[in-house]
A and B are shown apart, each in its own frame.
Chain A
Amino acid sequence: MSHHLFLLSPSDTPLYSLTHYSTKPASTIASPLSSNLPNWSTSAFAGTLTALSGAGSSAHQTASGTVRMGGGQDRHVIQIIANASLDAIEDIMKTQNAMFLKSVDKFNEWTISAFITPGNMKFVLLHEGKNDDGIKSFFTDVWELYVKTMLNPFHTAHTPIKSLVFDARVRASAKKNL
């Protein structure tokens, strides 16, 4: 089961991203509708379509059995799903006060949870299973780490986070919570 974390600046630019593969097995049930997909190879555009519709990942799933280790998921698709989920996140964050928005959106096989800091940073996590408590504590950890990073006076809301320490700690938290 994989998780994708994106830290998005107010202008939707990712400042940090993390792909985490947890040892827990994926528990999604594939619809019979998405089996036996036609094999498209007619043009490059069909490839785009295949990827965007989410067929790419499930095709991979069927190809290599239940274990799915990253590779098959199109990075671009993950990103665009995360980006598209901002619509729902922005909508909800305007009406709700909560910082942690759990399962705010669903797209293809992904569930999206988000965390919004007071500085309008958005932490977006794409995950497959349900793990609300783990995700919440993970977000809290990331937030704390982020706040520590922001204490650097040279760090603005638009500066990409390249700190290795930050990365290591986020990974550790992901390992623990996800």
Chain B
Amino acid sequence: MDTHAFASLAQVRILLVPVGNISESTFNKYATELRTFDAIRLGDIPADNKDERARFMPNPLSTGYLHLSFPTHPPPFSHLPLSLLRPSNFPLAVIGLAACSKTDTLPTILAEFNSALLDIFPAGGMYPLAKNCFVFEEGEGNTNVNLGDNLPSLVVIPSMMGNKKLYIGTLLADLCSHVLGEFGTLVQGLESPAGNEHLNSALMPMLPPPDLAQPLDNGNGRKRDSLPPIPNGHSDMKTGFNLSSASNKRNSSSGSAFRHSTLSVPPAKKRLSSIGVASSHGRLFKVLGDFYLLAGRTEDAAVWYNEALLLFKSSSDAIWQAATLEGMATVSIIDAWSAGQGLNTSISSNKDQWIDVFDKLSQAITLYHRSPSVDGEHNYSLLAYLYSCSVLRQASLLFSIWSAKGWGPLAFSTMLQPGPTPYLPPTLSHEGLTSWAHLERLSTLSGISRSNISTVLSQVHGPWLLHLGPRERISILENTASLYSCLGYRRKEAYILREVLGCILDLIVCGREEDGFSRLSSVPLPAGLGIQGPNSAGSSQRGGNVGVRFSENMDGNESVLKLLKYVCKVLGINLDAVRVLENPDVNSAPVETSTASIEDEIATEFSEPYGWPELQVGVVREAVAVAEALPDYLAVAQFALSSLKTLQSVLSSGDQYHLYATANRALLTAHRRGDSKSVEYWSGKPLVSISLSPLPLVRLPIEKPLSALQARASDIAPILTGATDPFLYNPRRALGQGKTLVVQNELLEFVVALRNPYVFDLEIQALTLSTSGVPFESKPVRVVLPSTSYHVVTLTGKATETGPLVIRGCFVQAPGGTKREFTLPISTPEEEERISRRRAALECEVGRSKYAGLDCFPWEKAGKRSSAQLSTSTTKTPLRFSEFTVVPEQPLLRIRRTSVTHGAVMMYNGEMSTIRVTLENVSPLPIDFLRLVFDDSTIAPAQQALANGDLSVFDTYETEYDLLHRPVFSWNKEETKDIPPGHKLTVNINCYGKVGCTTGTVHVSYSYVHRPAANLDPSPPVFHTRQLSYPVMVTVYHMLECQGMDILPFPSVPSDLNDEQADGDEYRGNEAGWCLFSVEVRNTYGLPFEVSFERIQQGRLRSTTSTTVSPGSTSRMVIPIKRFILSEAHISQPIPTLSDRQFIVTKSKLSKTQERAQRELFWYREELFKNLRGRWREAGGSRSGDLSLRQQRMSLPMLETLRTETAAIQMTLHRQEGEDKVPCTVTGGKFYPQSSEFVYLRTKVTNLSLTSQVFTIDFDLQSSQHIIFEGLLRDVPIGRLESGESREVETGLCFLAYGRFEISAEAKIVGSSESKGTGRLTAMVRAEG
């Protein structure tokens, strides 16, 4: 569009107009060709020396140049008032460009050209001064070219012409010559007094040709060949001088009048009626200067400008004065250019050379700025335009010098011939040259700092911009933005660009509101759009007004969006954070993986705030609004979502709602309109965790090696080894072993936790599991995540084959977006390590800023980081995901019914009862493996105690015995058999009442082991079982309590009473090897029980004692037991352990003897319990059970009583009757010897022990003074006795008194003082008779 080249005042504008149906590319081609003629040597211009037309013609030998520019847009009509003040603003000539094909005839082309001109230039304007139409012949055609000669303003350029350029140059020179001639005519009109008055009549006078022509000269307006009086001469150099003196004189006379008039009457009031009144010639001289400048005659221009300035100094015609100053500044640059033409060497940073120009422009700017607003409303826009242009001119002066590294030819050509990219000088056009250092270098070289340029440039910005028409405003803002951009002031550039966008969008919106048609042509879209027809004639004839839907004109949207993104980027918002992707094929699996997601997460965790939050929010809102207004729905969605993603912490909740709603709406619209693109998933990583919801225990398959089916060789009951798993099948153990097992064709439930950090409810259109491995059937789920919370979703699916199943993560798809996979790898230690390292490094870095401002955009940070710690962590280990093993289909069993009511069993302690459980196979697979395992509440504490190892050996044995031999539950393995599908099986389970048991569980493991091998591969050495658990509540009543066990000696019955009342010869007291076992049985329950103890000693008669124990009472049960002795070998065995425990160190610190005593106690107790059995029965009921004595302890006295003595001593008294020794009379176990008579005490010692021993006997005669005895009483040797052998010793005695004598004997083993057996004899000595 409009360029504001510095030297635009000196450029003859030639408008290029497309004529006929010339294509855009062809037009551009020819236009480019024409544009190569940016300057024409004055010498090349054919002089037309006719009268006044010759005035501006170049001298034949002049060396100057005529500068040309070729715009393709005419200035807006509103600029017409500038036509005398700023003639260079208007196209002085028009060239129509037409392409001639066979069908076109030249007259029609000419007609079209003329009508186009009528459209472009209003009737009132004085420009263009010349016109021509270039018809380029296309192809090899031989059209009616010849006709061209007849038409005056039409030139046909044949396609076969060799040196087109030369020809065109000639044509252009002709055209320029014409223009210069017209200058003369024009000036002639103005020089007349009427013309001069007209010139001074208004601030910005217009010169309508008829107005000027008719009253002054009566000729027709087009050909001004009449000669108004010209005060000044013909030859140029001389006239300049004369004129100046003349004007000086005139000035002195008329200046005051003029001043007076301006002071009293505003110029606006001046009418054409005041023609003839002498006015200052300042404006006239200025116009002359302008024309001379355009004509390339700078010396003349300078002279006239100086004249004008002198006049303006006294009058206050600020605008004209300023315009003059601008012209003078241009003159200096042109002169400098011509002087330096061809010399590329001299570049200087000396300010003196351009400070003059700069000052002139500053002066002009000040004048414009302060110009009084006198001339009615409409002038504001033009004044503001002039002001802005002059500011831009000054800025571009500095900029050109700066960018050209100093005052030199390069700077001049930049100012004169800006070329296609006026604001991208060669010094800045390379990529790397925009660095700060380079820009600063330019400043140093040229002596102009960038802030200087910026200060000058910032003057252009102000409220007055609103006065400008949209076209001028956009143009000026664009230029400003480009300058800022080149200076590297990107924030300022962004500021200005926002205004540009505002302008453009305002026009779009307004244009749309007015009507649907004009919008397309009247909206000036941003630069780079290319040529637009200057007139919308083509579009205006489109018919239709109702119900027509126009397809949106998408031209330029791209550029607007680009600008938006750029502006946002400068403010630190990445609007491309959410990418727009081509909608992928539904079938093709997205290959994209988000492996770096963890890094991203950490990075975002430590991201520092960048930018100005309030500005960012504002600019984002604006961006969305702009995209909506265009409308570009995808861009709306992209912008809204990008800002949600990147600015989440900054946006208020209202904004978040708004952006989300807008994005959704826009996406819907875009889809409705068939847009094939969509946005990628945006809302960070929503996935928090995925876990398989644990299978119900009945469905959980457990892997077992096939070898488990073989008979077990080991003898240790697993129930004792509590530390290792006591159960054959433990579901918890399986979980710990890595891969979880799932079953083929059974529904799996995955619990997915999702997160929504936003304040609105986030909708996810489709959420599916991302799996690899075996095929997995699942359906996408639509989820709405509540705002700022975590949400748990259950996804179900089914694996259809056996093998490994890997859950990688989830596919997430937002409405209208594309699918994206979020993986959830299992963190390995290395990964954890790596992440924590990274985190630490970032943590160390956070809060420190190496780069500031625009150098530290968040998205550039990673690239600029030079920390070695962070960069080296790129070695990727393959990610691990949670894996499951899909096993073949499994049968399913259920408990159909049980005999237990309410799941509870009630028993008395020691009672045995039975539970019946009926199992049913509800699957289509048979069950050929069934096993029951039990658990109850007594097992765990016992195992715990065993595992602790604190128990004494004795207690250990007791506990182990309890576990092994008295389990609460047991079953008969023989009952198992195959269960075909749909069949039932009843299993009997025995229960034993054990005090302390509260609950128990029956675990049923089953499987289909012997399935037909479908495939040929070796069958896996495993099979899978499932488990069914049946919990049972157990209540055991503790009703009978045994206590106070005792073993008493069976005393010798005094024979006085009755010798024969005992049962045969069974119980013969101690001497006969009997003792009494007694225990107290207490009934703590509410019912009477009948308790019986039975002796089942080997080789003896069975005997029972029973009694009924009533509630609350205690009964002592007594039963005689034959004493026994255990062999030394038996006793010396250590207390056995039932498990395979190895006691490495005996913990007890017992001495040898103590240990032996303990062992003895143990073994005798065991033997005792083997020989006794306690039973109870409900009185009047049917329930019965065992009564356990195991709680009872055995003490040493009891042991002594129970154990048979080592030696048995039998003593008898004998009388000497002749040779024979006759036993004395014995009555009731007492002997009745005579007194004072010699008797023999015969003592028989029997070795009852199981080894041979050497015995001695000690006698104890209590009343020894009344007894005479023979031999020794102490240590009477008996000698060695084999086991069971007996020997007698005789001792002579004589009782010397009457009375009762007790004689006792004690057997001892030689070398020990311990009594091994005692004997006793009572003798009654009485007087005869």
A13 touches B853 (CB 8 A): no
Chain B residues, Cβ within 8 Å of A90: 852-854
Given contacts A80-B495, A105-B454, contact A46 B847 (CB under 8 A): no
CA distance A178 to B454 in the complex (A): 27
- Residues from chain B with a CB closer than 8 A to the CB of A13 are 609-613
Contact with A along B383-397 (1 / 0, CB 8 A): 110010000000000
The CB with the most chain A CB atoms within 10 A, among B380, B466, B484, B614, is that of B466
Question: Residues of A within 8 Å of B, CB-based: how many?
Answer: 56
Of A18-26, A47-55, A139-147, A162-170, which stretch is located at the interface? A47-55
User: Is A149 an interface position by the 8 A CB rule?
Assistant: no
| Contact indicator A32/B451 (Cβ below 8 Å) | no
A31-B853 contact in complex given A49-B502, A88-B451, A106-B455, C-beta closer than 8 Å: no
Give the nearest-CB partner of A106 in chain B: B458
Within 8 Å by CB of A32, from B371, B436, B506, B610, lies: B371
* Complex interface residues of chain A between 78 and 108 (CB less than 8 A to chain B): 79-81, 83-88, 90-92, 94-95, 104-108
B461 CB-CB contact with A under 8 Å: yes
Q: Are B611 and A12 in contact (CB under 8 A)?
A: yes
| Contact present for A158 and B609 (CB under 8 Å) | yes
Contact with B along A27-51 (1 / 0, CB 8 A): 0000111111110101111101110
A36 contacts across to B, CB distance below 8 A: 373, 377, 380
A40 touches B466 (CB 8 A): yes
Q: CB < 8 Å: which of A11, A53, A84, A109 contacts B492?
A: A84
Say whether B491 faces chain A, with CB atoms less than 8 Å apart.
Answer: yes
Chain B 884-913 near chain A by CB (<8 Å), digits 1 or 0: 000000000000000000000000000000
Q: How far is the CB of B662 from chain A (nearest CB, A)?
A: 15
Is residue A173 contacting chain B, with contact meaning CB distance below 8 A?
no
Residues 458-481 (chain B) with a chain A CB within 8 angstroms: 458, 461-467
A11 near B380 with CB under 8 A, answer no
Known contacts being A42-B510, A157-B849, is A94 close to B625, with CB within 8 Å? no
B498 touches A48 (CB 8 A): yes
User: Does any Cβ of B come within 8 Å of A137's Cβ?
Assistant: no
Distance, CA A109 to CA B609, complexed state (A): 30
* Cβ A46 vs Cβ B495 within 8 A: no
A53/B612 in contact, CB under 8 A: no
Distance between B354 CB and nearest chain A CB, rounded to angstroms: 22
Q: How far apart are the CA atoms of A147 and B856 in the complex, in Å?
A: 24
Q: How far is the CA of A76 from the CA of B571 in the complex (A)?
A: 13
Question: Would you call A79 and B509 a contact (CB within 8 A)?
Answer: no
Contact of B380 among A33, A40, A95 (CB under 8 A): A33
Tell me the bound Cα distance from A108 to B462 in angstroms. Answer: 5
Contact residue among B383, B463, B495, B626 (Cβ-Cβ distance under 8 Å from A58): B463
B615 within 8 Å of A by Cβ? yes
Known contacts: A10-B853, A34-B463. The answer to whether A45 contacts B610 by CB under 8 A is: no
CB within 8 A of A31: which of B440, B462, B484? B462
B24 partner residues in chain A, CB cutoff 8 A: none
Q: Collect the chain B residues with CB atoms within 8 Å of residue A109's CB.
A: 462
Cβ contact of B466, chosen from A32, A49, A95, A157, cutoff 8 A = A49
CA of A107 to CA of B615, assembled, Å: 17
B839-873 vs A, CB cutoff 8 Å, 1 = contact: the mask equals 00000001111011110100000000000000000
A44 touches B625 (CB 8 A): yes
**How near does chain A come to B615, taking the closest CB pair, in angstroms?**
5
Q: How far is the CB of B1045 from chain A (nearest CB, A)?
A: 76
Q: For the complex, is B572 an interface residue (Cβ under 8 Å from A)?
A: yes
Minimum Cβ distance to chain A for residue B1321 (Å)? 105
CA distance A91 to B451 in the complex (A): 8
* Complex CA–CA separation, A51 to B371 (angstroms): 24
**B residues near A31, Cβ cutoff 8 Å:** 369-370, 462, 464
* CB proximity of B27 to chain A, nearest CB, Å: 32
Q: A40-B466, A83-B491, A107-B458 are in contact. Are A92 and B373 (CB under 8 A)?
A: no
Q: Are the CB atoms of B498 and A120 closer together than 8 Å?
A: no
Are B853 and A12 in contact (CB-based, < 8 A)? yes
| Cα separation A106 to B510 with both chains bound (whole Å) | 33
In contact, B503 and A49 (Cβ under 8 angstroms): yes
Q: A87 contacts which of B368, B377, B461, B492 (Cβ < 8 Å)?
A: B492
B506–A53 touching, CB < 8 Å: no
Does A64 sit at the interface, judged by CB under 8 A? no
Determine which of B455, B462, B484, B856 lies in contact with A33 in the assembled complex, contact meaning CB atoms within 8 Å: B462
Given contacts A38-B467, A49-B466, contact A76 B380 (CB under 8 A): no
Residues of B near A108 (CB, < 8 A) are: 461-463
| Complex Cα–Cα for A120 and B463 (A) | 33
Q: Which of B464, B501, B612 is close to A14, meaning CB atoms less than 8 Å apart?
A: B612
B608 close to A (CB within 8 Å): yes
Given that A33-B387, A37-B463 are contacting pairs, would A45 and B373 also be in contact in the complex, using a CB cutoff of 8 Å? no
Residue of A nearest to B500 (CB): A49
The answer to whether A48 and B462 have CB atoms under 8 Å apart is no
The answer to whether the Cβ of A156 comes within 8 Å of any Cβ in the partner chain is: yes
Distance in Å: Cβ of B621 to nearest Cβ of chain A: 10
Confirm or deny: B489 has a beta carbon within 8 angstroms of a beta carbon on chain A.
yes
Does residue B229 face the partner (Cβ distance < 8 Å to A)?
A: no
Residue B4 at the chain A interface, CB threshold 8 Å: no
With A33-B467, A42-B506, A54-B462 known as contacts, the answer to whether A76 contacts B369 (CB < 8 A) is no
C-alpha gap A14/B612 in the complex (Å): 6
Task: Collect the chain B residues with CB atoms within 8 Å of residue A52's CB.
Answer: 495, 498-499, 502
Instruction: Please name all residues of chain A whose beta carbon is closer than 8 Å to the beta carbon of B654 when the two chains form the complex.
Output: none
Q: Chain B: which residue is nearest A82 at the CB level?
A: B612
Collect the chain B residues with CB atoms within 8 Å of residue A75's CB.
Answer: 614
| Per-residue A-contact encoding for B813-852, CB less than 8 Å = 1, 0 else | 0000000000000000000000000000000001111011
User: Is B1278 an interface residue, CB under 8 A from the partner?
Assistant: no
Residue numbers in A under 8 Å from B505 (CB-CB): 43, 45
Query: When chains A and B are docked, how far (Å) is the Cα of A54 from the Cα of B495?
Result: 12
Q: Chain A residues near B454 (CB, 8 Å)?
A: 87-88, 105
Report A114 CB to chain B, min CB distance, Å: 12
CB distance from B145 to the nearest CB of A (A): 52
Cβ-based interface call for B1214 (8 A): no
Chain B residue with the shortest CB-CB distance to A51: B502
Chain A residues whose CB sits within 8 angstroms of the CB of B491 once the complex forms: 83-87
Closest CB-CB distance, B380 to chain A, in whole Å?
6
Q: Which residue of A lies closest to B857 (CB)?
A: A11
- For residue B131, CB closer than 8 A to chain A, the reply is no
Cβ-closest chain B residue relative to A56: B463
Q: Please give 15 more A-B residue pairs, beta carbons under 8 A apart, in addition to A75-B614, A83-B495.
A: A12-B612, A32-B371, A33-B383, A34-B464, A42-B509, A45-B509, A45-B626, A80-B615, A81-B495, A84-B491, A87-B490, A90-B852, A105-B451, A107-B461, A108-B463
20 contacts between A and B (CB under 8 A): A12-B572, A13-B610, A33-B383, A33-B462, A33-B463, A34-B464, A36-B380, A38-B467, A40-B466, A43-B509, A45-B625, A45-B626, A49-B506, A50-B466, A52-B498, A58-B463, A85-B491, A87-B454, A95-B449, A105-B454
- Please report B residues at the A interface, Cβ cutoff 8 Å: 368-373, 377, 380, 383-384, 387, 436, 440, 449-451, 454-455, 458, 461-467, 484, 488-492, 494-495, 498-499, 501-503, 505-506, 509-510, 571-572, 608-615, 618, 622, 625-626, 629, 846-849, 851-854, 856
